[in-house]
Structure 1
Amino acid sequence: MKHRTTLMRTAAAILLAGGGLLAGTPAHAAAAACSGSACDGKDPSVYCQGDARTVQSLRLGQALLELRYSPSCRAAWARISNAGYDTRDQFTPYATVHRNSDGREYSCSVPNGDTDCYTRMVNDANVTSYAKGMWDSGARIYEDRTGSY
């Protein structure tokens, strides 16, 4: 009986230890997030996509330019979508996020054969930023910027 009790305690300890390892996994994933200035230059899809929202947007012809913001990360980035183009006679569409306090910018260009891209993030804690971009329809070039947020 004593041997059986010891065996059960050992099994329980192993299960608890294993459960602790599993419980530690989400905490490790959450630790990958950034906030404020720690987000500068980071990829939003890796760090801050979970609670991201579009805070400003506008049309560049058929393309959509957005200023995206993550409240938990306190960071902003630009995204352009539906921005297909013909490399033979159109300029490559792009999006840029601009932080007003110091002029820091990150840009992306839509890859050939794709229709969208997004920039790296800028710290947006206690400052404002805007998105700017360009899309060439072939007949007209659209360039504009969103309001600041």
Structure 2
Amino acid sequence: MHNKFATAAVALGLVTLPLAGTATALSPTTAVSPLADASAERAIAQSSTSTALNACDGPSCLGLNPTETASITDGYPCAADAYTPSNQYGPAQIRNSQGLVRLMYSPRCHANWAQISEAHPGQQFWAQNKFNETAQYIVPSGYTSAYTGMIDGYVSARAGIGDRWTNWY
């Protein structure tokens, strides 16, 4: 059975997002497409700012697609400068038999999101900040990598899968 929809929770409720083809703009969130592989991430970093559909900073990034959104201050794509933060506990990532989840952070957009790899279709994962804003996503049929929408990155955040999660970063 082909899964055509994924569910994302943001701030005050659940929003069902279509996955057909490219990401579809929805108000106030944007659907996020699965990553085919690591080369897709590198392509994001090399893309021009003219392809960004939205602009945001911190709280205004809630639910937006990190690959289709740019910094409101300089137009630089949010995903292009993103990295997995580290602290005394190590990198912000968690692995279990269902996949590897990383917390991503964009310093230009002041936003976080979760990214999963080595996953199975149907696997749910999430990012949450200390304002209790949450973005979750379900890996669609035919994919092993995906990412959530963004949450405010001005406060600490964490990412999780199943009953496991990272420390706050």
Q: Same fold (TM over 0.5)?
A: yes
Cα distance change of structure 1 residues 113 and 30 upon mapping to structure 2, 3 Å threshold? closer
Residue 39 in structure 1 maps to residue 61 in structure 2: yes
Q: Alignment partner for residue 64 of structure 1, among 92, 100, 108?
A: 100
* Structure 2 unaligned regions, length at least 5: 1-47, 70-77, 86-91
Aligned to 1:8: none
State the AA in 1 paired with 2:94. Answer: L
- 1:1-149 alignment runs, 5 A limit: 32-47=54-69, 48-55=78-85, 56-61=92-97, 63-85=99-121, 92-101=122-131, 103-125=132-154, 127-134=155-162, 143-149=163-169
Instruction: Give structure 1 regions of 4+ aligned residues with deviation exceeding 6 angstroms.
Output: none
Q: How far apart, CA to CA, are the structure 2 residues paired with 1:124 and 1:66?
A: 15
Equivalent position SS for 2:63 = coil
* Structure 1 unaligned regions, length at least 5: 1-25, 86-91, 135-142
Q: How far apart, CA to CA, are the structure 2 residues paired with 1:59 and 1:111?
A: 19
Q: Could you state the TM-score of these two structures normalised by the residue count of structure 1?
A: 0.65
How many residues end up aligned between the 2 structures? Answer: 108
Q: Could you state the TM-score of these two structures normalised by the residue count of structure 2?
A: 0.58
Q: How far apart, CA to CA, are the structure 2 residues paired with 1:111 and 1:27?
A: 28
State whether residues 95 and 117 of structure 1, in contact with CA within 8 Å, keep that contact through their aligned partners in structure 2: no
Q: How far apart, CA to CA, are the structure 1 residues paired with 2:150 and 2:111?
A: 6
Larger Rg: 1
Deviation at 1:61, TM superposition (A): 2.3
Higher helix share: 1
Equivalent position SS for 1:45 = coil
Let me know the Cα RMSD of the aligned residues. 2.1
Percent identity for Structure 1 against Structure 2: 33
